[in-house]
Amino acid sequence: MMQTERLSAEEVERAVEWLLRGEPVGFPTETVYGIGAPLDRPEAIGKIFSLKGRPSDNPLIAHLGEMGDLERVALDVPQEFYRLAERFCPGPLTVVLKKHPSVPFIASGGLSTIGVRFPSHPVAQALLKGVGVPLVAPSANLSGKPSATSVEAVLEDFEGKLVAVLEGGECALGLESTVLGLFDLEHPVLLRPGRVSQEALEEVLKRRILLPAAGAVPASPGMKYRHYAPKAAVKLFTDRTALLHHLKEGGEKRRLILTSEPLPEGIGEQLPLHGSSLYAFLRYSDKMSAEEVVILCDQAAQKDAALMNRLSKAADVFCGPRSSLLAGA
Ligand code: TXA
Ligand code: MG
């Protein structure tokens, strides 16, 4: 089996070579690591889907290095997009627009739209500049597993399968970008909450943004799949008393507790609940062969739409009011 090359930030040229030869490469962004392939290389894009085990109807995001690349990816770009871009790009925002006819079918999962994002991570920017073509890239994790926020996490899933991964340290944000659907200007939709908040987007757009209707046909294919899940059962609590009761009654288990407030000692390993470390800790629960991950979200955590969205997708069991748990991709 081949060994995956770990490339330093100074070896961006080597990553560019691989990409131009049609081999997908892992790279860092400010949100999570991605696996990229040039937008104009459908065979290379196909390899990403098989590497991840990703359903072919789940579209990829196009990562752009400069605004000049937009017209090769999207059609009929509305003025509103540029207002958003001025404020939030480069950064953790993906905007779904009408796609340009030259975007390969496989990149957009057969949809007539394409998500575009301008990453702010300097290594991602250097890579995009070197390739000279937008890179389509999903998160660098096996489909259904927690996203990867470090090179080590990328290698857990893809050692010997990817030709190379570029190093860029730990991802600062640790949760994937906000995804905003802007293909219907009258009805912008929040397809996935992230660190660019719904309120901030509404302020720039000067209109209400809708949440995808629960139970409706998914507006974003990613919404219908289970995500971010470690091997252990994940149990989500919004109430401290209910959680402590569960620990008392739940029997002896190899257990990891993620909590937004300190709990009594002696009930199992406790780690703090934060968006930026969530995926690293879910992956850690796999490494310690946890049977159960118990999560306590206090009021403040419940107000964090991006965090609650990921938790509600990772969880098997909810204890406490669900109303605060947002839907989304
Ligand atoms: O932060 C991020 O966005 C990371 C980094 C690598 O940029 N990427 C990422 O990609 O999270 P992925 O493929 O793991 O998640 C993209 C999500 C999926 O839920 C997908 O269904 C949705 O965005 N999406 C992408 N293109 C779409 C489109 N044209 N219409 C609706 N949803 C779309
Ligand atoms: Mg993903």
Q: What does the pLDDT look like over 222-249, one tens digit per residue?
A: 766 667 889 999 999 999 999 999 999 8
Read off the tokens for 113.
Answer: 């739209």
- pLDDT-based confidence at 266, cuts 50/70/90? confident
- Residues lining ligand 1, CB < 6 A? 29, 31-32, 34, 58-61, 94, 96, 108, 111, 113-115, 117, 137-139, 176-177, 179, 191-192, 220-222, 329
pLDDT at 167 over 80: yes
Closest C-alpha to ligand 1, atom 33? 220
E strand spans, the chain: 5-7, 25-27, 34-38, 61-63, 74-75, 93-99, 113-117, 135-137, 164-166, 178-181, 189-192, 233-237, 255-259, 269-272, 292-296, 317-319
Q: Is 34 helix (H, G, I), strand (E, B) or coil?
A: strand
Q: How far apart are CA 190 and CA 173, in angstroms?
A: 19
Task: Using alpha carbons, list the distances in angstroms from residue 282 to 62, 98, 272, 322.
Answer: 27, 35, 12, 21
Mean pLDDT in the chain? 93
The three-state secondary structure class of 303 is: coil
Is 90 exceeded by the pLDDT of residue 324?
no
Enumerate residues 6+ apart whose C-beta is below 8 A from 168. Answer: 9, 27, 28, 29, 33, 121, 122, 123, 124, 151
What is the identity of the amino acid at 285? S
* Ligand 2 center–CA 32 separation, angstroms: 9
Confidence grade of residue 267 (pLDDT, cut at 50, 70, 90) = confident
Confidence of residue 326 (pLDDT cuts 50, 70, 90): very low
Instruction: State residue 228's pLDDT score.
Output: 81
User: What is the number of the ligand closest to the CA of 309?
Assistant: 1
User: 259 C-alpha vs ligand 2 centroid, how far in Å?
Assistant: 24
Q: How far is CA 78 from the centre of its chain?
A: 25
Average pLDDT over residues 134-161: 97
pLDDT, greater one: 99 or 319: 99
pLDDT at 218: 66
CB 221 within 8 A of CB 57: yes
Q: Write down the residue that tokens 């030869």 correspond to.
A: 21
Cα torsion for 310, 313, 316, 321, to the nearest 10°?
Answer: 70
**pLDDT computed for residue 323 by the predictor:** 42
Ligand nearest to the CA of residue 179, numbered in listed order: 1
In this predicted structure, what is the pLDDT of residue 6?
98
Ligand that comes closest to the CA of residue 220? 1
Percent of the chain at pLDDT exceeding 70: 94
Per-residue confidence (pLDDT) for residue 221, from 0 to 100: 76
With 0-12 / 13-18 / 19 or more C-beta atoms within 10 angstroms meaning exposed / middle / buried, residue 46 is middle
Nearest CA, atom 29, ligand 1 = 114
- Quick one: average pLDDT of 88-108? 97
Q: What is the pLDDT confidence band of residue 319, given thresholds at 50, 70 and 90?
A: confident
pLDDT over 60 at 154, yes or no: yes
Q: Is the pLDDT of residue 127 over 80?
A: yes
77-95 mean pLDDT:
98
Q: Is residue 328 pLDDT above 60, yes or no?
A: no
Q: Tell which residue, 301, 281, 302, 303, has the closest CA to residue 290.
A: 281
